[in-house]
Amino acid sequence: MAYLSEPFARIGIIGGTGLYRLAGAAVLETLDAATPFGPPSSPVTIARLAAPDGTGGSDGPVVAFLSRHGVGHSIPPHRINYRANLWALKSLGVEVVLSCAAVGGLVPSHGTGTFAVPDQFLDRTWGRADTFYDGLLSTGVQHLPAAEPYSAPLRAALVAALELQGEDFAPTATMAVINGPRFSTKAESAALIQAGAHLVSMTQYPEPVLAAELNMHFAALAFITDADTGHDGSEPVTAELVLGRLAAAQPRLLAVLSAAVHRVSAALAGMEPAHDGGFPLLALIPADAVATVMGGAVMDPAGPARSGTVRPGTVHNAGRSAQ
Complete domains list, the chain, with CATH = 11-315 (3.40.50.1580)
229 labelled binding-site residue: no
203 labelled binding-site residue: yes
Mean pLDDT is lowest, of 163-172, 212-221, 281-290, for 281-290
Per-residue model confidence as pLDDT tens digits over 79-91: 999 999 999 999 9
Q: How far apart are CA 110 and CA 103, in angstroms?
A: 10
Segment 186-200 mean pLDDT:
97
69 labelled binding-site residue: yes
Q: How far apart are CA 247 and CA 102, in angstroms?
A: 11
Q: How confident is the model at residue 269 (pLDDT cuts 50, 70, 90)?
A: confident
Q: Which residues are catalytic?
A: 226, 228
- The DSSP H or E segment spanning 220 is strand 217-226
For the chain, the average pLDDT equals 87
174 labelled binding-site residue: no
What's the pLDDT at 321? 34
Q: How confident is the model at residue 310 (pLDDT cuts 50, 70, 90)?
A: very low
pLDDT at 271 over 80: no
300 labelled binding-site residue: no
Evaluate whether 83 touches 33 at the Cβ level (below 8 Å): no
The CA-atom distances, in angstroms, between 2 and each of 139, 167, 178, 209, 294 are: 17, 40, 36, 22, 10
The CA-atom distances, in angstroms, between 5 and each of 92, 96, 107, 273, 311 are: 12, 17, 46, 9, 17
> Which residue, among 193, 171, 187, 39, has the nearest Cα to 108 in the 3D structure?
193
- State the DSSP string of 189-212: HHHHHHTT-SEEESSTTTHHHHHH
SS3 readout for 9-23: CCEEEEECCCCCCCC
Mean pLDDT is lowest, of 56-65, 105-114, 119-128, 269-278, for 269-278
pLDDT at 312 over 80: no
Q: What pTM value is reported for the model?
A: 0.88
